């Protein structure tokens, strides 16, 4: 008998999210989260499919302790890391550079390469690495697979991936557009094709991943040809706390005239800009509540958010030439009918329209919200990055005979 379960780990700097998936039927025997690692008031939340959710509070000083606490909870449900049912552990890794175009079984050379990419992903890759090393130490015999957020975007042509700056300087510092959220864009573009009853190879999709972080991508026949995030996740759409696109000269101006340091500007653009910088809130529910109550700052923030989104939809329409579907996903995309309606308002000339009734209906699954006779389908497609990581991980260990 071979195992059919995959444990998916998403290790951040102070949290670890985990999901155990069974690839036989797509079920999730357990999901959980360890928060505030290395801080006061650490917390573990564990929800088995069969049984009550549990919460533990106490000290979790590091990732080693976090994964051991997770393993102990899984053990209590008979789902421990030593179970023969466990086929592999799949890790979300944010930056895979140009080298990692596919999910990859982790060995020492792979770890060294992920480490070499830290300068282009200083916030994420160190935490991802710690998660992999810790999991490896717990189960050295089990295949560990790295699934990269950038991988789906490595098919972008050079014309989309390169910035128009001096080539030697750019190459010396590995400056180019890498894109992020790739696991979500891959999953959602495929699910959109499935919703249309067509093969991914035959369908062109604009995917709008609108969460707290947000990115758009243009997907032609299943392959990404452009995406809005760049060297880092700062570029592109207006996000919860990130500015998205600005004139790079804003930075020189803030340094020279505003007297700010590079680190201060980094914090300004990544943490104190976007919706929160514009109106003091980054939750779209609260912003809409304020807009409906007549709050002008919230209304302007909403309008700026929508204006940028619309520009990217138009840009990617032009990049693709023919668009079969626009898909909304992630927290805002899946839940905010006003954002979906406003983003496509006035685009009927492009064949894009939202049916008010369908848009207002709340639902869990993938669904169409465009009128029946629309030229371009508009869809809401819930993303599932854990399922995608598990699917890619399982396919790799099965094919390569890595299965225990
Ligand atoms: P992350 O980027 O953190 O993964 P999510 O995809 O979970 O983010 O999206 C979180 C965001 O989704 C919240 O900040 C909020 O703006 C938005 N959101 C969540 N639920 C709703 C809702 N019911 N209506 C509107 N916006 C929502």
Give me the DSSP letters along 215-245.
EEEEEETTEEEEES--SSTTSSS--SS---S
For a ligand 1 pocket test, name from 209, 331, 360 the mutation site with the most ligand atoms within 8 angstroms of its C-beta: 331
pLDDT of residue 121: 84
pLDDT tier at 1, thresholds 50, 70, 90: very low
Ligand 1: centre distance to CA 404 (Å): 38
Percent of the chain surpassing pLDDT 70: 98
- Tell whether ligand 1 has an atom less than 6 A from the beta carbon of residue 339: no
Say whether 11 sits in a helix, a strand or coil.
strand
Ligand 1: centre distance to CA 329 (Å): 10
For a ligand 1 pocket test, name from 211, 244, 271 the mutation site with the most ligand atoms within 8 angstroms of its C-beta: 211
Q: Give yes or no for a contact between 170 and 116, defined as CB atoms under 8 angstroms apart.
A: no
Say whether 266 sits in a helix, a strand or coil.
helix
Ligand 1: centre distance to CA 335 (Å): 8
DSSP 370: S
Least confident range from 76-85, 199-208, 247-256, 325-334: namely 76-85
Closest residue by CA, ligand 1 atom 12? 331
Residues 127-159 have pLDDT tens digits of: 999 999 999 999 999 999 999 999 999 999 999
CA dist., res. 153 & res. 150, Å (int): 6
pLDDT tier at 348, thresholds 50, 70, 90: very high
pLDDT of residue 364: 86
DSSP 122: T
Average pLDDT over residues 59-78: 93
Which residues are CB-neighbours of 166 under 8 A, at least 6 positions away? none
Encode 352-386: b = buried (16+ Cβ within 10 Å), e = exposed.
bbbbeebbeeeeeebebbbeeebebbbbbbbbbbb
Ligand 1: centre distance to CA 365 (Å): 17
Q: In the numeric block, which tokens belong to residue 232? A: 């880092």
User: Closest ligand 1 atom, CA of 339?
Assistant: 25
- Tell whether ligand 1 has an atom less than 6 A from the beta carbon of residue 289: no
- Tell whether ligand 1 has an atom less than 6 A from the beta carbon of residue 233: no
C-alpha separations of 294 from 23, 174, 289 in Å? 49, 46, 9
List, by residue number, the catalytic residues: 149
pLDDT tier at 120, thresholds 50, 70, 90: confident
Q: Half-sphere exposure (CA, 13 Å, Cβ side) for 183?
A: 24
Ligand 1: centre distance to CA 283 (Å): 7
Binding annotation for Mg(2+): 10, 385
Average pLDDT over residues 43-60: 94
- Tell whether ligand 1 has an atom less than 6 A from the beta carbon of residue 212: yes
Phi, psi of 191 (to 5 degrees): -65, -30
The DSSP H or E segment spanning 377 is strand 377-380
Average pLDDT over residues 352-377: 95
Look over the chain and give the mean of its residue pLDDT values, rounded to a whole number.
95
Which residues are CB-neighbours of 277 under 8 A, at least 6 positions away? 241, 243, 268
- Tell whether ligand 1 has an atom less than 6 A from the beta carbon of residue 331: yes
Ligand 1: centre distance to CA 309 (Å): 16
Indicate whether 38 pLDDT > 70. Answer: yes
Work out the angle at residue 148's Cα, subtended by the Cα atoms of residues 31 and 330, and round it to the nearest 5 degrees: 55
Residues 240-284 have pLDDT tens digits of: 999 999 999 999 999 999 999 999 999 999 999 999 999 999 999
CA dist., res. 128 & res. 154, Å (int): 20
Three-state SS across 200-221? HHHCEEEEEEECCCEEEEEEEC
pLDDT of residue 2: 76
Residue ranges of domains in the chain, CATH in brackets: 5-148 (3.30.420.40), 198-384 (3.30.420.40)
Ligand 1: centre distance to CA 27 (Å): 24
C-alpha separations of 11 from 18, 124, 209, 238 in Å? 8, 9, 21, 25
pLDDT of residue 403: 54
- Tell whether ligand 1 has an atom less than 6 A from the beta carbon of residue 213: yes
Residues 179-233 have pLDDT tens digits of: 999 999 999 999 999 999 999 999 999 999 999 999 999 999 999 999 999 999 9
pLDDT tier at 123, thresholds 50, 70, 90: confident
Closest residue by CA, ligand 1 atom 23? 335
pLDDT of residue 327: 98
User: Closest ligand 1 atom, CA of 283?
Assistant: 16
Residues 286-307 have pLDDT tens digits of: 999 999 999 999 999 999 999 9
Q: Of 229, 224, 225, 185, which Cα lies nearest the Cα of 207?
A: 185
- Tell whether ligand 1 has an atom less than 6 A from the beta carbon of residue 10: no
For a ligand 1 pocket test, name from 284, 288, 290, 386 the mutation site with the most ligand atoms within 8 angstroms of its C-beta: 284
Which residues are CB-neighbours of 240 under 8 A, at least 6 positions away? 211, 212, 213, 214, 274, 275, 276, 282, 283
- What residue spans of 235-375 are helical by DSSP H? 249-256, 262-271, 274-279, 284-292, 296-320, 330-335, 337-344, 356-360
Pairing of strands 325-329, 86-93: unpaired
| Torsion of the alpha carbons at 233, 237, 243 and 245, rounded to the nearest 10 | 90
pLDDT of residue 5: 97
- Tell whether ligand 1 has an atom less than 6 A from the beta carbon of residue 211: yes
User: Closest ligand 1 atom, CA of 287?
Assistant: 16
pTM to 2 decimal places: 0.94
Binding annotation for substrate: 92
Percent of the chain surpassing pLDDT 90: 91
- What residue spans of 63-152 are helical by DSSP H? 63-76, 108-116, 125-138
Closest residue by CA, ligand 1 atom 20? 331
- Tell whether ligand 1 has an atom less than 6 A from the beta carbon of residue 12: no
Indicate whether 402 pLDDT > 70. Answer: no
CA dist., res. 23 & res. 389, Å (int): 11
- Tell whether ligand 1 has an atom less than 6 A from the beta carbon of residue 330: yes
Using N-to-C axis directions, what is the helix angle for 108-116 and 125-138, rounded to 10°? 160
């Amino acid at each position: 008998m071979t195992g059919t379960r995959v444990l998916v780990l998403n290790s951040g700097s102070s949290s670890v999210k985990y999901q155990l998936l069974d690839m036989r039927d797509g079920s999730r025997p357990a999901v959980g989260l360890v928060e505030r690692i290395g801080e006061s008031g650490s917390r573990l939340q564990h929800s088995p499919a069969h049984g009550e959710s549990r919460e533990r509070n106490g000290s979790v000083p590091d990732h080693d302790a976090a994964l051991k606490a997770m393993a102990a909870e899984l053990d209590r449900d008979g789902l421990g890391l030593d179970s023969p049912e466990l086929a592999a552990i799949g890790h979300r890794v944010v930056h895979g550079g140009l080298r990692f175009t596919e999910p990859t079984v982790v060995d020492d050379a792979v770890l060294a390469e992920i480490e070499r990419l830290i300068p282009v992903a200083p916030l994420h890759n160190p935490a991802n690495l710690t998660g992999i090393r810790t999991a490896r130490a717990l189960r050295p015999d089990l295949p560990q697979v790295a699934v990269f957020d950038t991988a789906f975007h490595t098919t972008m042509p050079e014309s989309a991936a390169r910035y128009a700056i001096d080539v030697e300087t750019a190459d010396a510092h590995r400056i180019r557009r890498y894109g992020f959220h790739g696991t979500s864009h891959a999953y959602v573009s495929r699910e959109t094709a499935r919703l249309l009853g067509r093969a991914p190879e035959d369908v062109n999709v604009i995917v709008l991943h609108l969460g707290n972080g947000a990115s758009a991508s243009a997907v032609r026949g299943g392959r990404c040809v452009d995406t809005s995030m760049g060297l880092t996740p700062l570029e592109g759409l207006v996000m919860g706390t990130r500015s998205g696109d600005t004139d790079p000269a804003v930075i020189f101006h803030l340094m020279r005239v505003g007297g700010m340091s590079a680190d201060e500007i980094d914090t300004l653009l990544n943490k104190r800009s976007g919706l929160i910088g514009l109106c003091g809130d980054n939750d779209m529910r609260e912003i809409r509540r304020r807009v409906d109550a007549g709050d002008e700052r919230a209304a302007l923030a909403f309008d700026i958010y929508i204006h940028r989104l619309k520009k990217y939809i138009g840009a990617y329409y032009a990049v693709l030439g023919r668009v079969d579907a626009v898909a909304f996903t992630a927290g805002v995309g899946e839940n905010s009918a006003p954002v979906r309606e406003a983003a496509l308002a006035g685009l009927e000339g492009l064949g894009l329209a939202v049916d008010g009734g369908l848009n207002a209906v709340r639902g869990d699954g993938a669904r169409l919200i465009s009128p029946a006779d629309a030229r371009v389908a508009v869809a809401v497609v819930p993303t599932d990055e854990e399922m995608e990581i598990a699917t890619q991980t399982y396919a790799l260990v099965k094919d390569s005979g890595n299965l225990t």
